[in-house]
Amino acid sequence: MPRPSMREQLVEAAVDYFHEHGFNGSGIKDITDAAGTPKGSFYNHFDSKEAMAVEVMNRYADSRQMGMLADESTPPVERIRKHFEFLAADLERFDYARGCMFGNFGAEMSTQSSVIREDVNTSLARWASLLAPALEEARAAGALKSEMDRPLLARFLVSSWEGAAMRAKVTRGREPLDDFFAMFDSITT
């Protein structure tokens, strides 16, 4: 009888460990201990800690509820706001101490790992590409005051959110997120 795969246990533990301690603050042994698996099992599932980090970022991206941006049953401005409120609630759930993993890995690893830097960039670009059509719908409905190119505005909002999430992590409070929402509300009707 084959042994059960410990990959899922390792990834789940790594999501939390990387998010709380960062890439450099997370050792393979820390992650395997948190997963309740032997250290050697790590290498049965991952070639490197970087490979695990990419898997973790993909899992994290899936948890960001980006699909709600395409839910046409909700008016576009409302669904964009709901998406960012979902993200804000997730930051609040951890008392703002964790921040956003995209921003955390981008800040920590962009000069150390081209693999992780490229994965962060891809994740942020995908997010902006899902946001841009909702912004275009808002413009077509007359609910967007800004005439800025929608893909540019989407990238700006994603970058602004990442900055606000980082500041919320630093201040351990919601004020930077409230600033983000105030700016978002100023461009919508």
Predicted confidence (pLDDT) per residue in 43-100, tens digit = 999 999 999 999 999 999 999 999 999 999 999 999 999 999 999 999 999 999 999 9
What does the DSSP 8-state code read for residue 5? P
Can you list the domains of the chain with their CATH numbers? 7-58 (1.10.10.60), 65-187 (1.10.357.10)
* Whole-number pLDDT of residue 4: 61
The confidence score (pLDDT) of residue 2 equals 57
Q: What is the mean pLDDT of the chain?
A: 95
DSSP lists the bridge partners of residue 144 as 188
pLDDT on residue 25: 96
The per-residue pLDDT for 23 is 97
Contact 168, 174 (CB under 8 A): yes
pLDDT, tens digit, for every residue of 106-154? 999 999 999 999 999 999 999 999 999 999 999 999 999 999 999 999 9
Confidence of residue 163 (pLDDT cuts 50, 70, 90): very high
pLDDT for the residue numbered 61: 95
Q: Which pLDDT does position 132 carry in this prediction? A: 98
pLDDT tier for residue 189 given thresholds of 50, 70 and 90: confident
Is the pLDDT at 3 greater than 70, yes or no? no
Map tokens 């800690």 to a residue. Answer: 49
pLDDT value at residue 1: 53
User: What type of residue is 167?
Assistant: R
Q: Is residue 186's pLDDT more than 90?
A: yes
**Mean pLDDT across 27-47:** 94
What pLDDT, on a 0 to 100 scale, did the predictor assign at position 5?
77
